[in-house]
Structure 1
Amino acid sequence: MHRPEQLKDLSVFASLAVLLVACSSATCSADDAASAAERGYRTLRTKAFLPNDFDDSVFKDLWKQWPEPDRSKAETATEKSRLRMIRDRYGLHQGPEDDSRLLGWVPTENGGHAMNCFACHGGAVDEKVIPGLANTELDLAALVRDVRATKLAKLKPLSHLDLAQLNLPLGGSRGTTNAVIFGVILDGIRNPDMSVDTSRDTRPHVHHFLDAPAWWNLKKKSRLYYDGFAPKNHRMLVQFTLIPKNDRETIYSWEDDFRDILAYIESIEPPKFPYEIDRKLAGRGQVVFENNCAECHGTYGDDWTYQERVVPIDDLGTDRVRFDAMTTDHRAHLSKSWMSRYGKDEVIPDPAGYIAPPLDGIWASAPYLHNGSVPTLWHLLHPEERPKVWRRKSTKFNREQVGFKIESFDSIPAEDRRTDEKREYVDTTKFGYSADGHDYPSRLSENEKVAVLEYLKTL
């Protein structure tokens, strides 16, 4: 599998969008943009915007919270093997520089570790780490719970996430988080000028869980989030650092950091499909795709097009919990804020539906739909075959169906419903997890679906 080349030759990824964000004068060059992107990546990997979640002593003892027989297996393992077991259990990855540091946490003083954006946006395919890909293996809920229990056993102070989890669900099925409500609360406790006001009522909180989008598609978009209600600018990226401890002056002081971070995100190229492709079949699939799918998802290649089309929610038919979870008041609050430049960058308080995303790198982006309810592209193209309940069979890539290798069930087995194992399952009958909708491929013949699947590997 090819890894992203953003660290080797960032200049080739510079685009007009990066230039506009990263540069302050008309004479800005591609080298300036590349430098901004390099700074953005370095900032994400080295600068803590949040307090420590745990230190080395806590991390190394997480296994002591595990049930048997896993606890005994960890106890008798070598330290190196035990650390690998800890990373695997919670879905944590090492950085692509092949060092020992976690990708999603920044090392701080005294052996501490503070969460960064890569916790959710640093994933892997076939165990190859791809910064900017959703981390579909993350089990944030189990991690924070076990961190809290380990700290209490060691008489260590609790952090913001340890306490937040007591009232706020952090994640559902593995790889999903309650990101929308995180944002509602963090944005809601800020006055327009970013001063903190914890007396503000941020309700309603409709807790639900989402799959993180791939970062490399952001360069084609002018708006953020699945419904496109928010403008794309560097200030919006500050949203998930808005805990009360970070006061207004602190947030303002980070503005250049987040300019660079946006430049980095927009420099990321999608990974290439690393296996054999039937180019003749893919060519036929391109014709079918452009006649049936391009109206919403755009065209690809050197002369690509992308309309950023919002598909009305009733036409799309996918799970609407994400759409309904944010009220007009939630969205409108942002229009008065420093983050939207006090409304100069348009905020849409009542979007019509979800944005049809670009499909660059779609082969690597399983699971599909915004809630991660569809395990492979084959299932996306065969709506009637989408499993009711499923879980990943292994972390190996499913080359034939393009996505996860899975096991299907009629329901979550009884023995797993009251343990951490329940988060290994995606139950599409549950609130917010419906796999219905996006049934447009039903109009295609089977031969056309086979060809389109092959074409999607080329994007």
Structure 2
Amino acid sequence: MNPSRWSGSRVILGLLLTLTLLAALYAALRFLPDRAVTHADPAEHFKYGSLGGERNMGFPYWLFQVLPEVCPDLLPGKGYASLGFITEPGHDLPVGMSQRRHLGLDRVFLNCAVCHSATVRTAPDAAPRLVLGMPANQLDLMGFQKFVQACVNDRRFTPAQVVPRIAEKAGGLSPLDRHLVYPLAIHLMRDGVAGLIGRLRFIHLQEPWGPGRVDTFNSAKGIFMAPFEQLPRDELNGVSDFPAIWNQARKEGMQLHWDGNNTSVRERNLSAAFGAGALPRLIDYAAMARIESWIATAAPPAFADHYPIDAALAARGQAIYSATCAACHGQNGSDFAGEYVGKVTPLAAIGTDRGRLDSYTLELAQNQGLLYAAHPERRFRHFRKTWGYANAPLDGVWLRAPYLHNGSVPTLWDLLQPAGARPARFYRGNNLYDPQRMGFVADQPSADGRALFAYDTTRPGNGNAGHEGDAYGTTLPDADKWALIEYLKTF
């Protein structure tokens, strides 16, 4: 071979090798990092810290941002706020949405705070106050799931229509992102959502949940590919309110969840993380440990910081509470001692709607014990089928409305009435508080220009009966009921 040709070939080969190595280095730097956005402040970490679910179910950041613009007609109002998501000033993601760099993209998904944070207005013209740890009483989680499914299956969800929106919102895209990464992400998201909704297809067999509610354990059945169409109808009525999650460390050993099916706070937290896409092999345990550390001692805000309390009336109510309620719910909002606190009251005694209880089955409890089979140190060992509902401490009870496990009673005043005198229909999703009756305003069909959800207690799983009789305060004279409510304001 001519020496000059050989020399030229070596140069070309060298250049090709260099370009290949540079391309491989770029690909490694772009697509291999797995790094969550972190927050030094524990409360900020609770609001925006990762559980690891972005690895499995995460939306590409810019896809999440443009979905409401791609399919605005599929939302009940403007943007994610119309589904009850809360966005703080200066933040580009809602509370309860974490971000992680994964597979070459910033990806976002839900964390604990999305279901356990809400806003409260103390007057019609007052600014909403964000409260961490309380039930997300405005979040329409079913509405969010159905919106995402409908939008990614819509004819508008194509690279030709979505990528230009992303480029505009992001201030431009590189040629690689414009022509390869985001078009591929759009197709993968469509396939991923189809697979997810296939597992969670029970939501299309149920009536609307409304804001502040979720079907936790039918979602868990989806992990095990449950044949929802063949399940007994009673199993599909397991919708219940999001719970408050304050003071978790002090509730260790109590029977947790509405039906008391687990006594381990750690297992309760790991189980809840599944709802945020953090399956066993994907959970970011270190990040989750920080969230667990915060909720272990997080406390509710005091009612007295926002409204006055009649001390004399509350003192009279304390005696009524001690005689009627303390054995099941603790001595007060900080002392949880009581003979039946954290234990299950049989359904025959409590008499509340059985839908949530029936939805959690012995078969599911057995299956949950298999979830961490590859990680014996984390394997679930405490899930059990029960036959009633658990007696919970009442810390922050003023912010837990609506009441009963399925959120079927709007205020504490209504809960102290016999079932026949409780509202058969009311509106959920308002953040305006009623300090007298202790609950969110529930007789208005709209708030802040938003239509509220009409809750019908005659529908399956929505019953408002139970928690009645001498043992539950519903036979007290009205004056004693008002005194009892005044004392509960000190919790």
TM bin (shorter chain): 0.7 to 0.9
Over 3 Å counting, the alpha-carbon distance change for 1:442 and 1:326 in structure 2 is: same
Which residue of 2 is the match for residue 299 of structure 1?
Answer: 331
1:113 paired to 2:108: yes
Which residue of 2 is the match for residue 169 of structure 1?
Answer: 203
Task: Return the offset for 1:407.
Answer: 2.2
Which residue of 2 is the match for residue 90 of structure 1?
Answer: 83
How many equivalent pairs are there?
388
8 A Cα contact 1:368 1:377, kept in partner: yes
Q: In structure 1, what is the Cα distance between the partners aligned to 2:193 and 2:237? A: 16
Q: In structure 1, what is the Cα distance between the partners aligned to 2:353 and 2:400? A: 19
Which residue of 1 is the match for residue 355 of structure 2?
Answer: 321
Query: Aligned match of 1:123 in 118, 141, 158?
Result: 118
Task: Return the offset for 1:378.
Answer: 1.0
Secondary structure in structure 1 of the residue aligned to 2:443: strand
Q: In structure 2, what is the Cα distance between the partners aligned to 1:282 and 1:290? A: 12
Q: Which runs of 5+ in 1 are unaligned?
A: 1-35, 75-84, 190-197, 410-419
Which residue of 2 is the match for residue 347 of structure 1?
Answer: 382
What's the CA shift string for 1:123-152, capped at 9, x where partnerless?
A: 122221112111111112222333344444
Over 3 Å counting, the alpha-carbon distance change for 1:258 and 1:405 in structure 2 is: same
Secondary structure in structure 1 of the residue aligned to 2:431: strand
Task: Return the offset for 1:56.
Answer: 3.5
Q: Which residue type is aligned with residue 400 of structure 1? A: Q
1:99 paired to 2:128: no
1:225 paired to 2:261: no
Which residue of 2 is the match for residue 194 of structure 1?
Answer: none
Q: How does 1:150-165 map to 2 (within 5 A)?
A: 150-151=151-152, 152=154, 153-155=156-158, 156-157=186-187, 158=189, 160-161=192-193, 163-165=195-197
1:209 paired to 2:239: yes
Task: Return the offset for 1:335.
Answer: 4.3
1:389 paired to 2:415: no
8 A Cα contact 2:401 2:407, kept in partner: yes
8 A Cα contact 2:333 2:396, kept in partner: no
Query: Aligned match of 2:65 in 44, 56, 59?
Result: 59
Q: In structure 2, what is the Cα distance between the partners aligned to 1:87 and 1:179? A: 22
Which residue of 2 is the match for residue 450 of structure 1?
Answer: 482
Task: Return the offset for 1:366.
Answer: 0.9
Query: Alpha carbon RMSD of aligned pairs, Å?
Result: 3.7
Over 3 Å counting, the alpha-carbon distance change for 1:138 and 1:444 in structure 2 is: same
Over 3 Å counting, the alpha-carbon distance change for 1:438 and 1:247 in structure 2 is: closer
Over 3 Å counting, the alpha-carbon distance change for 1:40 and 1:185 in structure 2 is: farther
Secondary structure in structure 2 of the residue aligned to 1:429: coil
Q: Which residue type is aligned with residue 350 of structure 2? A: L
Q: TM-score, normalised by structure 2?
A: 0.69
Task: Return the offset for 1:266.
Answer: 1.1
Task: Return the offset for 1:426.
Answer: 0.8
Over 3 Å counting, the alpha-carbon distance change for 1:60 and 1:257 in structure 2 is: closer
Secondary structure in structure 1 of the residue aligned to 2:302: coil
What's the CA shift string for 1:39-85, capped at 9, x where partnerless?
A: 686276232522224644553451564559x99xx8xxxxxxxxxx4
Q: In structure 1, what is the Cα distance between the partners aligned to 2:120 and 2:268? A: 28
1:377 paired to 2:419: no
8 A Cα contact 2:110 2:276, kept in partner: no
Q: TM-score, normalised by structure 1?
A: 0.73
Q: In structure 2, what is the Cα distance between the partners aligned to 1:337 and 1:163? A: 19
Over 3 Å counting, the alpha-carbon distance change for 1:139 and 1:337 in structure 2 is: closer
Which residue of 2 is the match for residue 32 of structure 1?
Answer: none
Secondary structure in structure 2 of the residue aligned to 1:219: helix
What's the CA shift string for 1:415-452, capped at 9, x where partnerless?
A: xxxxx96x711110011110110112222111110001
Q: In structure 1, what is the Cα distance between the partners aligned to 2:333 and 2:444? A: 36
% of aligned pairs identical?
Answer: 25
Q: In structure 2, what is the Cα distance between the partners aligned to 1:108 and 1:129? A: 24
Which residue of 2 is the match for residue 138 of structure 1?
Answer: 139
Over 3 Å counting, the alpha-carbon distance change for 1:227 and 1:217 in structure 2 is: farther
8 A Cα contact 2:246 2:296, kept in partner: yes
Which residue of 2 is the match for residue 424 of structure 1?
Answer: 453
Q: In structure 2, what is the Cα distance between the partners aligned to 1:209 and 1:400? A: 28
Which residue of 1 is the match for residue 400 of structure 2?
Answer: 365
Q: In structure 1, what is the Cα distance between the partners aligned to 2:96 and 2:286? A: 21
8 A Cα contact 2:140 2:212, kept in partner: yes
